[in-house]
Chain A
Amino acid sequence: MSDSDEEKTSPYVTLISNDGYSFQITREAAMISGTLRGMLNTSFQESSTNTIKMHELDSQLLEKVVEYLYYNLKYNELVDVPEFDIPTEMALELLVAADFLDV
C-alpha cells in the first residue's frame, strides 16, 4: 500500500483483491457502487487511505466488477448501449459480488 499517504481527495481509489492484485480506478467510477461509496464517504480507514481490500473477491471477479463500473460510467446516460459481456460460468459468483457491492 504505497499510496496510503495520499491525499483524501485523490481522484483515484485502489481496490485490492483477495489474491493480492490491485486495481487503480477513478473515484468517480468507484462511487457507482453503493457499498464503495459508503466506505469512501465515511471516516473509515478506507476513506483516508483510498484503498479498499475486497476480501471476498478474487482478481478475476474484481476485474469484471471494475469493467462494469467503467461501463456504467461510460454508458449511463445513453440508451443504445452494447451488452455487457459476462462469462456464463462467472455469473453466479459475480451476482454475489454485485449484490455485496450494490451495483
Chain B
Amino acid sequence: MAYGRRRRQNQAQGSEDVQGPSSALSAFLREQGINADSVRLRYEDNVRREQEMIERQQQLEQEQQEQEQQGQEEQGQSGNILNDNLTDIGEASGLDSDEEVYEGDDKNDTEVALIKERARAKRRRVDGNDAAGFNADHGVGKNYCIECDKEFAISVYSKKMEKYGRVGYLCPSCTKIAIRRERLAKRNEIEARKKRKKIAAALLDKQAFRLPSLQDFCIKIITENINDVDLLGDIGVNNRKKISRILAKKRSLDSKTMRLFLEPSLRELEFWDCSKIDKAALGQIPAICPKLESLTLNMCGHLHKDNMLYYGEKLTNLRYLDLNGPFLINDQIWQDFFDSKVGKNLTAFHLRNTHRFTSDSLVTLLDNIGDQLEELTLSRLDGLDSKGVYDLLPHYLHSIKYLEISYPHKEELIDDDMIVNLMANNGEHLETLILEGCSYLTDQFLVSGLKPFCPNLTKLSLKLLDQITDNGVTQLFTDWNINGGLMDLDLTRCISLTDNSIYKALEHCSQTLVQLKLNSVKGLTKKVFLRLSRNIRFPLLTSMDLGFVRSVDDSVLAILSRIAPKLSILEIYGNSRCSDKAIVRGDLRIIGRETDSI
C-alpha cells in the first residue's frame, strides 16, 4: 500500500516539471515519492491512530466494567465473553482489519460502525485522487505485479522477487524481460571471465592482448599443416624466422620441416629445437647454405662428429657458431674442428651443456683463435674441470667483447684472481660480462677487476653470486667515472646486498639502464625506493624484475611507474603486498600479482 501511494504520487508529480535547484537528497526523496506532505500525512495518521486506540481502550474498559456489573447481576451471559475475546484479537492483530472481526454484535454496533467509518475515511485520505480505487478492492486471489503494478493471474512461471522491501511476483511480460536481462547478465559475466583469462594469459607472455594480425593467422595455419608444405616461397625473412620459431616451440621442427628453411642465399640460420633433426638433415645445412655466416643450433644432441667435420670443411664464411647440447662431439672432434679452416675463422663461439668439451678442447680453441675471439660463452661445461686451463684465459683472450662464463663444474674453478687478470687484459673491449653461478667470486673482482679496467661495460650479470656484499658493490659504483653506465644489470639472488649498495648501483646507471633484475635481493626495503623517488629518474628503463623482494608494495609500484616513464614490464612474482589497486600508468604491465590469476 505504501508503495502504491508513492508510485501514484510519482506519476502525479511527473507533470509539474519546472522546479528550482534542489539537492541530491531532495531529488532522491522526490524520486522515491517522499515529500513533506506524505510525511506529514503519515505522522497525522499515526497520531490519530494512537488517539483512537486510547479512546477505544477507555471505551472498552468502561464497557467491561459495565458488563462486569451486569454480569454480576445476570450471570451466565456467554456471548459477552466471546465478544471480549474477539475484541482482544482485534486489538492485537492490527486495528485496521476489523471489518471481518466485528460482525453482528448488537451491543457494539455503534462502536463498530464508528470504527468502520473512520477506517473508510482513512482509506479515502490515503487513496487521494485514485480513481481506480486500487486499494479498496485489494483482496484475496488477486495479484499485482511488484514492478508494473499490473493485475495478473499468478502461475508457476511467475518470477518471485524481493524488491522495495517486499516480496512479490512479476507479471508475465515483466517476467520475460527480467529473465532475458538475467540471461544477458550471465552471458556478459562469462564473456568478462573469458576476457580476463585471455588478458592474464597474454600477460604471462609479457604482452598486452591484441587482435592477431593476418600474418599471425596465416602462420598458425601453416604451422598446423607444415607437413603438407612443399615450399615456403617468398614469405619474407621475418615470417620465415617466425614460423621456424613457432615450429620449434611446438616441437614439430623435424628433418623434413627444417628443409623448408634452407636456402642457398641464407647468411643466418637458427634452429631452436634440433632434437628431431637427424644427422643426415644436419649435414644438408652446409650443402644448401654454403654462405652461412651465423649458425645457431639449440638442443642439437643429434649433431654427429661427421657433421662437425663437414661444417669444418664447408662453411667457409662462418664467423658465429652457437651450439647448445652437442654431446656427441668428443674432445678429439672439437680439436679437429678448431684446427680446421672454418674453426680458425670463428670470431664468436658459444657453447652450452656438454660434458665432452674438455680442458684440452679449450686449449686448442684458445691456441687457434684465442686472440681473435670477440664473443665466448662457456656455460655448464662439466668437462672443463681444470683450474689451470681457466687460468689460461687471460693469456689468450685480448679482444673479447662478450664473455660468458657461467655455472662452472666446480665453483672454485673461477676465482677472483683469474677474473681480475682477465679484466686487466681485456677490460677496455669488454661490453658484456656474464658470470652467473660463479659463486666463488667475492668483492675483490668487483673492486680490483671491474672498477679500474672496464670503461665500456654495458651489460653485467652477477646472478647467484652470494658472496658479493654491500661493501664491494658500493665501492664499484661509487665514482666509477671511467664507465658511462650499464644498460643491463642482473643482480638476481645476490642475497647479501641491501639498500645502500643497490642505491649506489642505480645512481650510477640511472641514465643508461634499460633492463634491471633484482629478483630475490631480499635485503631491499621500501626506504631505497623512497630515496630513489626523491633523487633519481630512469629515462630508459623498460624492463624490471623485482620478484621476491617482499618489501615491494603498491606504493613502490606507483613510485616506479612515475620515476621510470618508459618502464613497460615489471615482474613482481612472490610479492604479496602488491595488489591490483596499485596506481600505475596504463602502459605498464605488471606481471605476477596474485590478483591476476587466471
A interface residues (Cβ-Cβ under 8 A, vs B): 65, 68, 72, 75-76, 79-81, 84, 86, 88, 91-92, 94-96, 98-99, 101, 103
Contact = CB atoms under 8 A, between A and B. Distances in A.
B27 interface: no
A95 B235 contact: yes
Nearest to B230: A92
B211 A95 contact: no
B198 interface: yes
Contact of B233 (A84, A86, A92, A103): A92
B211 A76 contact: yes
A99 B235 contact: yes
Contacts of A98: 213-215, 218
Nearest to A95: B218
A98 B191 CA distance: 30
Nearest to A100: B236
A92 B229 contact: yes
Contacts of A75: 211
B218 to A, nearest CB: 4
B198 A79 contact: yes
A64 B218 CA distance: 12
B234 interface: yes
Interface residues of B, number: 26
A103 to B, nearest CB: 4
Contacts, number: 61
B214 A68 contact: yes
Contacts of A80: 191, 194-195, 198
A81 B541 CA distance: 34
Interface of A is mostly: helix
Contact of A95 (B191, B194, B219, B228): B219
B232 to A, nearest CB: 7
Interface of B: 191, 194-195, 198-199, 209, 211-215, 217-219, 221-222, 225, 228-229, 232-236, 238-239
B228 to A, nearest CB: 8
A81 B211 contact: yes
Nearest to A75: B211
Contacts of B232: 92
Contact of B215 (A72, A79, A81, A99): A99
A95 B195 contact: no
Contacts of B228: 88
B221 A91 contact: yes
Nearest to B213: A103
A84 to B, nearest CB: 5
A79 B202 CA distance: 11
Contacts of B199: 79
Given A98-B213, A99-B236, A92 B222 contact: yes
Nearest to A99: B236
A91 B222 contact: yes
Most chain A beta-carbon contacts within 10 A, residue among B198, B221, B225: B221
A96 B198 contact: no
B235 A96 contact: yes
A101 B225 CA distance: 23
A91 B211 contact: no
A72 B221 CA distance: 18
Most chain A beta-carbon contacts within 10 A, residue among B209, B218, B225, B229: B218
Contact of A91 (B209, B212, B218, B238): B218
A95 B229 contact: no
Given A80-B191, A86-B218, A95 B239 contact: yes
Nearest to A77: B211
A65 B214 contact: yes
A95 B215 contact: yes
A92 B232 CA distance: 7
Contact of A88 (B195, B198, B225, B238): B225
Given A75-B211, A79-B194, A91-B225, A86 B239 contact: no
Contact of B214 (A76, A81, A88, A94): A94
Contacts of B215: 95, 98-99, 103
